[in-house]
């Protein structure tokens, strides 16, 4: 087990979900970006850093196929226990800074994982994974800390993002569909400045 896995396992073991600094009782900000996308029982949705998010419960209601990713086995076990027996879920314990090529994703959702990757090599592999595993005409939704906002989270440093950086890293194979700056107020009434951006993959 890596030190990073231990860090996240420790957080999820010792902290009630509602006391996590990124916990959302209201996930409407993410859902409104998904509202206009066609999601049915043939859709494959990849949720990076699923943690114990209530977004999972909403995605389950959509009757789609889910890949729930996290580096923390503790978080994934808590999710399994909460959801009970649900079909069409792949619990994918994996570090997204390592290469993988075995998924076939329609929608890739990342709320607050990418910004924890600091090493350029790790960031490049993350984007390679996204591009390789996302289908043509598929979508990626980012929700990351934006420029000028917070500089750390969960006692870890973070990398801030802008719309231009997302576009540059994705390249010409993707087009921007929608973006929005959003200030999230966490359970401790602390403001966290996010940028949301939805892109579509238009080329193989």
Instruction: Tell me the Cα Rg of the chain.
Output: 16
Backbone angles phi, psi at 35, to 5 degrees: -55, -35
CATH code where residue 52 lies: 3.40.50.150
Q: How far apart are CA 173 and CA 10, in angstroms?
A: 39
Q: What's the domain range around 152?
A: 3-19+28-201
Q: Which of 6, 38, 32 is nearest to 139 (CA)?
A: 38
Q: What is the pLDDT of residue 142?
A: 98
100: tokens are 């993988």
Domain tally, the chain: 1
Beta strand extents in the chain (DSSP E only): 44-48, 65-70, 89-93, 105-111, 134-145, 152-153, 156-157, 174-185, 191-201
pLDDT of residue 114: 97
Q: How many CA atoms lie within 13 A of 183 on its CB side?
A: 5
Per-position pLDDT tens, the chain of length 204: 789 999 999 999 999 988 898 889 999 999 999 998 999 999 999 999 999 999 999 999 999 999 999 999 999 999 999 999 899 999 999 999 999 999 999 999 999 999 999 999 999 999 999 999 999 999 999 999 999 999 999 999 999 999 999 999 999 999 999 999 999 999 899 999 999 999 999 998
- Confidence at residue 137, expressed as pLDDT on a 0 to 100 scale: 97
pTM score, two decimals?
0.96
| Contact in structure between 160 and 146 (CB atoms under 8 Å) | yes
Burial 165-196 (b: 16+ CB within 10 A, else e): bbbebbeeebeeeebeeeebeeeeeeebebbb
């Amino acid at each position: 087990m890596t030190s990073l896995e231990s860090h996240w396992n420790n957080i999820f073991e010792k902290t009630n979900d509602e006391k996590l600094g990124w916990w959302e009782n209201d996930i409407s900000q993410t859902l409104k970006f998904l509202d206009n996308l066609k999601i049915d029982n043939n859709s494959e949705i990849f949720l990076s850093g699923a943690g114990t998010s209530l977004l999972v419960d909403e995605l389950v209601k959509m009757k789609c196929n889910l890949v729930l990713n996290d580096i923390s086995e503790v978080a994934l076990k808590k999710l399994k226990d909460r959801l009970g027996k649900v079909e069409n879920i792949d619990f994918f314990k994996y570090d997204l800074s390592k290469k993988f090529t075995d998924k076939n994703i329609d929608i890739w959702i990342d709320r607050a994982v990418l910004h924890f990757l600091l090493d350029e090599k790790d960031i490049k592999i993350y984007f390679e994974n996204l591009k390789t595993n996302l289908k043509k005409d598929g979508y990626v939704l980012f929700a990351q800390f934006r420029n000028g906002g917070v500089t750390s989270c969960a006692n870890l440093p973070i990398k801030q993002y802008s719309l231009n950086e997302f576009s540059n890293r994705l390249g010409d194979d993707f087009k921007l569909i929608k973006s929005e700056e959003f200030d999230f107020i966490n359970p401790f009434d602390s403001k966290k400045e996010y940028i949301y951006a939805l892109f579509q993959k238009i080329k193989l």
